Amino acid sequence: MDFLADYLWLIIALPLAGAVALHFGGKFLPEPLPGLVAVGAIGTAFLIAAAAFVPLATGEAEAHILMLWDWMPGIGAAFEIRWDQLSALMTLIVTGVGTLIHIYSIGYMHGDPRFSRFFTYLNLFAASMLTLVLANNYAMMFVGWELVGLCSYLLISFWFTRPSAAAAGKKAFVVNRIGDFAFIVGLMLVFTQFGSLSMSETVLSHPGEVLSPGTATAIAILFLIGAAGKSAQIPLYVWLPDAMEGPTPVSALIHAATMVTAGVYLIARNAAIFELSPVALPIVATVGAATALVAALIAVGQNDIKKVLAYSTVSQLGYMFLAVGSAGYVAGVFHLMTHAFFKALLFLGAGSVIHGMHEEQDMRKMGGLRTAMPITHATMLVATLAIAGIFPFAGFFSKDEILASVFANGGYYLVLWGVGLFTAFLTAYYMTRQYIMVFWGKPRWVEGLKPHESSLWMTVPLMVLAVLSAGAGFLNTPQLLTLEHYLEPVFEALHPAHLESELPRILGMDGLAFGLAIVSLGVAVIGIATAGFVYARSSERFRQWFANATRRPMNASENAFWVDKFYGKTIVLPGKKLAQGLASFDSFFVDGAVNGVAGVVQRIGMSLKPLQSGFVRSYGATFVAGVIGLVIFFLTRGGL
Amino acid sequence: MDFPMLSVLILVPVLAALVVMVLPADRTELHLPVALVLSLLPVGLAGILFARFESAAGFQFVEQAALIERWGISWHLGIDGIALPLILLTTILIPISIAASTSIAKSPQLFLAMVLLLEAGLIGVFSALDLIVFFVFFEAILIPMYFIIGIWGSENRIYAAIKFFLYTAFGSALMLAGIIALSVLQQQKTGFASFDYSDLLTLELTPGTQAWLFAVFGIAFAIKVPMFPVHTWLPDAHVQAPTAGSVLLAGVMLKLGTYGFLRFNLPLFPDAAVKYAPVVATLAVIGIVYGAAVAIVQTDLKKLVAYSSVSHLGFIMLGIVAFTQSGLDGGVIQMVNHGITTGALFLLVGMLYERRHTKLIADFGGLQKTMPVFAGVFLFSTFASIGLPGLNGFVGEFLVLVGSYATRPAFAIIATAGVVLAAIYLLWAYERVFTGEPDKPENVNVADLNLRETLIFVPLIILILTLGLYPKVLLDRIEPSTAAIIDRIEATTDFVEPTFVIGEPGE
């Protein structure tokens, strides 16, 4: 362990080295070698992380900090790695799911002219994300925070010749920057309060002795806004659906499993600050619940296979915010993990479908694919059941735990619990709708299309993820609470009251917890049954009637409630007009004043023409005379 | 007396300029390589300065020789941790500018000589410790730059050159008056005349005098920076200047203004500096947001980069008048970073212009497909300019923001908006120039970077990464000098720098 602890930097350095090597040498390697290099880099990082994780999990080792180098010593910015239960778990998710998606990409990106460049970016992303989660210093975390944004930008606009892809990449970066604005201000506040940016000297070292509730609220809200940008929460979620312009493995890795969960991680990591504020956590929970609901409502009306999953991701991230906002940090992290498995699987499955359908993404032109793509179908079914929250798949446990945590807070949180429950119904509904539209019914394929199952590069990762989506829930069953105990060292210091009194009461088998689990399971079953009836089992006449009856709400949902249009009209356009106005002001007014003065001087000069010789000498003389005049003026008026 | 390193460093480019001028005029293939090789000598000398520099307060490599004893004018040179990085920056950008000037057809010898003379002037200005010597260099720089814009510029070069010249000459006249006034005051106080910086530092000026002199020096430097609202010469000068001119103008010459504030306005007139800092900070923040907003809607790529300079220089000024350690450190390091990054962007725009003879964003599109390496370097520089952490731009910006938040939170928060705006104007420009299909026929066959051009960017990219990840290499040298300025302000006014002790509540 001691040996490994000093080499934890390799977890970041390996994928970074892979990216650098591929950047300069990748184009000389034939397919699939660049992919294998990238897989090797991140795979080795996973193995190192796993080896270093074992002593943490068994309790042999404690949290460990590895100082790398001083960055900006004056403000306590440094590169230092924190290896504790939370960062180790995040590292395993990032490198584990990351490795699977890297492997999948070898099949998915086959034949792309920029094959090796794609893996350069994937490896760079992995290194950036690991920088983010392993940081023991806010400044280093911000490096990772921004670099994942950069990789997101590069990968969304990977097919840069498509104007929509280029625009989507830019939109993602700019919207994230709005969140970063708040994050940076939050960091300034942290530094002026604590005199450091190192986490072990700030948030993880009795922040209650330093922060007043007001300041804690300010920092928490600023961090929340930053988190809302990265994790696509209201009102900054609009970039994530557009991000689907990127290749599908990117959607799975960055925009479902890892990067977008950074906001949840940020809040969980800073829970000690959020808890010092009387209002921060309820605000987080409210934002989460609202986002979960709105995004689920939009997902119901989407016809693009990836757009359904994109809004679903926004919604599930809202769920995670709801969890941490209810002080259910373990539940939030638990759902982060299970979601990483089943949502990555859904995206990769969708990618397999798109691949097999020759780049078709419209579910209305799919149907009946279960026989043509049996592996994709079976794995997607597992993922659908997992996200819907059906026992014993992974999503059931994590979602149930979130709802229980929300419920445990009582009072206002009961409303949020209701919202969460309704969202669970919607989730089961729209996922079943998608599953049926893609895999069941009669084929509605474009004529002449012959769908095919994908290569092993793609299906093997699907199968591995399917196993994880089916079984990961048992990592934290209400009886064993394995994950809860594992994460205890991270959260116990922050919120002892919660762990000691409420959680056992709620999660213990005192009847209420069991009842809550039955309710959420029942809601999921109703959602599946409803969608099953509407899209598969009902008569043609009923379907006609249903389509008519729901035309208006479905239209609103399909158009995502016109939020993008609204932002365009209220922010983008006025902003552009303002900038244009300032530019005109600059050339006509500010510069005009200067030219005007020059014009007046010139006119005076013309009238005095006889006096001027036009030679530099006389200009010089005037200059000297002016200076002397000024000196005299200053010395007499200067109050000597 | 030790070896006069600084005088030699000033003299070498002058001699180099002479050598270039006496080369046979018809051997055009010799002019640029000779100038380039000669311009590497100062890089080596500056490297020695860097290596021998001790991270301590006070001036080093000092040399002093009387020039006009009766008036107290002396050849007094010396550098501290503020001047050193700027001299390094100057010596590095000169060979890069020369290497990028292959397309200069009109009297290339004269052009190269002008660039080298400019270098001498810049090194002189950053190492002068006598105010007359400083002023002479400050003015002397105008001449080569005036010709570089006026002779080798684009269509509207005469207008731009005259505007540039008159604007700065106006500031210079004010400053010269201030310098003379200072020395008169010195004589009245002590009985002997002196223009020596260290003598003038000991003057105890009344608040009223300080206010006048602060304004006089301040206006001269504000024009150079340039600060809002005296910035309008800059876009014109940049758009008309040849590439080397733009690189040196943005890279180094603008820093004369910010350097002047640090070297003169703060230490000589601390009382006025504290009193009028809110005014300066206000103009700085306006510059940050205004420059960025105006940059968004520019149709000319070069003008866009020019306005981005107005925004970035605002950060430097905000840091300088924060009067905190990280604010000043951030300001100084941002001077270097801006020089590198904006230098790179101007080089790129210049190379684009050489290929397509246009700088209008609307004339491009889809260039990433035709020139992927060029696009990659452009995007890299763009993100450095946006302030992506890990690259150089972030370090200065972040230090400035944290440093100014301590004394002026509201200003710092507004300035942070510049971070969002920078992403908008640069990425939108990138999108329009490089992405999509190259749908205009003239964009289909544009040559990618050649070897010479690639080599130009190698040192810049290395610097961007080094300063981004390990800025300590400069910060350690800057810090004692900036700390001395803050100490001086604290000693002479009732300003107290807020300190932050780990584990104790801030204010």
Burial class (CB in 10 A: 0-12, 13-18, 19+), A161: middle
Number of residues that make up chain A = 640
Q: DSSP string of B51-70? A: HH--SSSS-EEEEEEEEEGG
Q: Is there a domain that residue B336 lies in?
A: yes
pLDDT digits (tens, 9 = 90+) for B241-253: 999 999 999 999 9
Which residues in chain A are contacts of B232 at CB distance < 8 A? Answer: 586-587, 590-591, 594
- How much is the pLDDT for A154? 94
Instruction: Report B:359-388 residues touching A (Cβ under 8 A).
Output: 366, 368-369, 383, 388
Burial track B433-442 (b if 16+ CB lie within 10 A, e otherwise) = bbbbebeeee
Interval B295-312: pLDDT, tens: 999 999 999 999 999 999
Alpha helices in B297-324 (DSSP H): 301-320
Q: Is B481 part of the contact surface with chain A (CB cutoff 8 Å)?
A: no
Q: Is residue B102 part of a domain?
A: no
Dist CA A295 CA A356 (whole Å): 28
Instruction: Kindly state the average pLDDT of the residues B157-171.
Output: 85
> What are the tens digits of pLDDT across the range A99-132?
999 999 999 999 999 999 999 999 999 999 999 9
- Separation CA B298–CA A505 (nearest Å): 62
CB count, 10 Å around CB of A67? 12
For residue A194, which residues of chain B lie inside 8 Å, CB to CB?
500, 502-503, 506
Task: Give the confidence band of A264 by pLDDT, cuts at 50, 70, 90.
Answer: very high
List beta partners, residue A82.
Answer: A65
- % of chain A at pLDDT higher than 70: 92
Residue B490's domain comprises 277-497
What's the total number of domains in chain B? 1
pLDDT band for A501, please (50, 70, 90 cuts). very low
Judging contacts by C-beta atoms under 8 Å, the chain A residues touching residue B290 are 582, 586
Mean pLDDT of chain B: 92
Nearest CA in chain B to A584: B294
Model pLDDT for residues A459-488, shown as the tens digit of each residue: 999 999 999 999 898 888 777 778 888 888
Interface of B with A in 388-407 (CB under 8 A): 388-390, 394-395, 398-399, 401-403, 405-406
> How many Cα atoms sit within 13 Å of A476 on the Cβ side?
25
In a domain, B240, yes or no: no
192-211 of B, contacting A, C-beta below 8 A? 206, 208-209
CA distances from A637 to A640, B174, B203, B210 (A): 8, 15, 18, 12
Q: Spell out which residues of chain A touch residue B399, defining contact as CB-CB under 8 Å.
A: 72, 74-75
Query: In B, residues 302-341, which contact A (CB 8 Å cutoff)?
Result: 325-326, 329
Strands A77-83 and B73-79: unpaired
Q: Least CA distance to B395: which residue of chain A?
A: A72
Distance separating alpha carbons of residues A111 and A414, to the nearest angstrom: 52
A242 contacts: CB under 8 Å, gap ≥ 6: A156, A167, A168, A171, A172
**Is A185–B413 a contact, with Cβ atoms under 8 angstroms apart?**
yes
Judge contact between A487 and A123, C-beta under 8 A.
no
- Of the ranges A24-28, A315-319, B342-346, which one carries the lowest mean pLDDT score? A24-28
In whole angstroms, give the CA distance from residue B201 to residue B58.
Answer: 13
Hey, of A183, A276, A635, which one would you mutate to test binding to chain B, going by the most B CBs within 10 A of its CB? A635
Cα B272 to Cα B323: distance, rounded to the nearest angstrom:
13
Does the residue B281 lie in any domain? Answer: yes
Given a cut of 80, whether residue A622 has pLDDT beyond it is: no
Nearest residue, CB atoms, A181 vs list B366, B419, B501:
B419
Looking at the complex, does the CB of residue B458 fall below 8 Å from at least one CB of chain A?
no
Confidence of residue A61 (pLDDT cuts 50, 70, 90): confident
Mean pLDDT for A33-39 is: 96
Q: Is residue B474 domain-resident?
A: yes
Q: What is the pLDDT of residue B507?
A: 45
Residues in B 125-184 with any Cβ partner in A closer than 8 A? 163, 166-167, 169, 173-174, 176-178, 180-181, 184
Higher pLDDT, A624 or A186: A186
For residue A210, the model assigns a pLDDT of: 86
pLDDT at A21 over 80: yes
Option in B232, B390, B402 nearest A586 (CB): B232
* Stretch among A332-346, A361-375, B155-169, B380-394 having the lowest mean pLDDT: B155-169
Residue of B167, B293, B368 with shortest CB distance to A160? B368
Percentage with pLDDT > 90 across chain A: 69
Return the higher-pLDDT residue of B193 and B44: B44
Per-residue pLDDT band at B259 (split at 50, 70, 90): very high
Q: Residue A3 — pLDDT band, cuts 50, 70, 90?
A: low
pLDDT for A499 equals 41
Q: Is residue A615 predicted with pLDDT exceeding 60?
A: no
Residue B388 in domain: yes
Residue B200 in domain: no
pLDDT of residue A621: 65
pLDDT number for residue B494? 87
The yes-or-no verdict on residue A613 having pLDDT over 60 is no
Answer yes or no: do A594 and B169 touch at CB < 8 A.
no
Of the residues B311, B398, B419, the best mutation for testing chain A's interface (the one with the most A CB atoms within 10 Å of its CB) is B398
Q: pLDDT per residue over A238-260, tens digit each? A: 999 999 999 999 999 999 999 99
* DSSP assigned state of A68: E
Average of pLDDT values for B98-103?
Answer: 93
Inspect the interface and report whether the beta carbons of A181 and B173 lie closer than 8 Å: no
* Position B190 confidence tier, pLDDT thresholds 50, 70, 90: confident
Q: With a CB-CB cutoff of 8 Å, which residues 265-294 of chain B face chain A?
A: 290, 293-294
Task: Report pLDDT for A500.
Answer: 40
- Chain A residues with CB under 8 Å of B213 CB are 634, 638
Q: Is residue B368 part of a domain?
A: yes
User: Does the N-terminal peptide bond of residue A163 adopt cis geometry, omega within 30 degrees of 0?
Assistant: no
Residue A638: list chain B partners with CB under 8 A.
Answer: 181, 208-209, 212-213
What gap in Å lies between CA A623 and CA B6, rounded to an integer? Answer: 31
Mean pLDDT, residues A43-68 = 92
Q: Which of residues 436 through 455 in chain B touch A, CB cutoff 8 A?
A: 436-437
Q: Pick B173's closest partner by Cβ from A75, A160, A623.
A: A623
- What the block records as the tokens of A379 is 């794995």
> Are A197 and A191 a contacting pair, CB within 8 Å?
yes
Distance CA A512, CA B351 (A): 71
Check whether A323 has a pLDDT greater than 50: yes
User: B311 by DSSP, 3-state: which?
Assistant: helix
pLDDT for res B147: 92
Per the model's pLDDT, the better-predicted residue between A346 and A445 turns out to be: A346
Contact between A630 and B475 using a beta-carbon 8 Å cutoff? no
CA distance B352 to B369: 14
Q: Which residues pair with A80 in a beta bridge?
A: A67
pLDDT at A2: 59
- The candidate with the shortest Cα–Cα distance to A317, out of A252, A259, A248, A260, is A260
pLDDT digits (tens, 9 = 90+) for A522-536: 999 999 999 999 998
Contact at CB, B506 and A583, closer than 8 angstroms: no
pLDDT at residue A224 in the model: 97
pLDDT score recorded for residue A493: 67
Whether residues B188 and A76 touch (CB distance < 8 A) is answered with no
Q: What is the mean pLDDT of residues A37-61?
A: 93
CB atoms within 10 A of CB A392: 13
Is B378 a residue whose pLDDT tops 60?
yes
Confidence category of residue A505, pLDDT binned at 50, 70, 90: very low
**Start-to-end CA span in chain B (Å):** 49
* Section A196-208 average pLDDT: 88
Residue A495 pLDDT: 56
Mean pLDDT of all residues in chain A? 89
Mean pLDDT, residues B315-341? 96
Confidence of residue B504 (pLDDT cuts 50, 70, 90): low
- Say what the pTM is: 0.92
